[in-house]
Amino acid sequence: MPAVIAENDVSQWADQTGVVYHFPKRYQAILTPGTQVIYYKGKLLDKAFADSRLSPSPHYFGVATIEQVHADEASSKGDLYAILSDYRAFAEPVLAKEGDDYLEVIPDSKASNYWRSGVRPIDGATYQRIVNKARLKPFEVREAEPLPSLDEFESREEGHPSKVYSTRYERDPKLRQQAIAIHGLTCKGCGFNFEKTYGEYAKGIIHIHHIVPLSEYQGSRVVDPEKDLVPLCPNCHSVVHRIKNATLSIEDLCKILRGVKC
């Protein structure tokens, strides 16, 4: 069953639209892998956010699909987060109300508090009614951040120079966005953060490292940005790929840096 997911202008979570969406555990049964979702924003409460919205009125502004759901280990309340795919933004807002009628069907039992729910299951007909009113933008393709030298951050299996361990995944723009949304922009090795050191000018700079060498995979494998990818600064990234026939583990990198296991 499809669902509507609310994105607040002010949130306790630093989610990225169409990439990661955090939610309380009470919505776990609604947001499962494969669920089609429609993004929704409520009424504008702070004019400071006016330029980042399609409308000050309650409206729908995009669609996506839930790809994976994970427990948020940083939460003491059992919160979860979803990894999303196939995000498409609306070119114009689809208002939640047309005249006296809402596009969503509000059950009588929830008439007084329906809009308080941040995640709302809807039937297929309601999903299509909303999407049919939208003009969908093309899928957004973002280029990966260029690295100084391709060879510098590759590790190869000895005797098989065509088998690159990790560069292909580290440069995938979708996986990069998901990994940053999950892990943040601080290096998992030395703890360096570009924005904290250089300010707003350097915000967003980080390399994404693929932990497991591709040579260890048996056939194709879905990369999990939570477990398989970590952010590293360029220095630490160079160190883990220094030896071409072996990728240094994050644990060993930490031992070198601190003399202790991460």
SS (H, E, C) 145-184: CCCCCCHHHCCEECCEEEEECCHHHHCCHHHHHHHHHHHC
Q: Is residue 201 part of a domain?
A: yes
List average pLDDT for each run of 10 residues in the chain, which is 262 residues long: 95 86 96 98 95 96 94 87 93 96 93 94 97 89 46 42 48 79 90 93 90 62 83 93 83 85 52
Q: Could you tell me the CATH number of the domain that includes residue 33?
A: 3.10.590
Q: pLDDT value at position 146?
A: 47
pTM of the entire predicted model:
0.71
Q: Is residue 53 part of a domain?
A: yes
Determine whether 245 is exposed, middle or buried from the number of CB atoms within 10 Å of its CB (0-12, 13-18, 19+): middle
For residue 73, give its domain range: 3-132
For residues 166 and 128, membership in a common domain is answered with no
Q: Is residue 140 part of a domain?
A: no
Q: Is residue 22 part of a domain?
A: yes
Tally of domains within the chain:
2
Q: Is residue 145 part of a domain?
A: no
Q: Is residue 228 part of a domain?
A: yes
For residues 82 and 182, membership in a common domain is answered with no
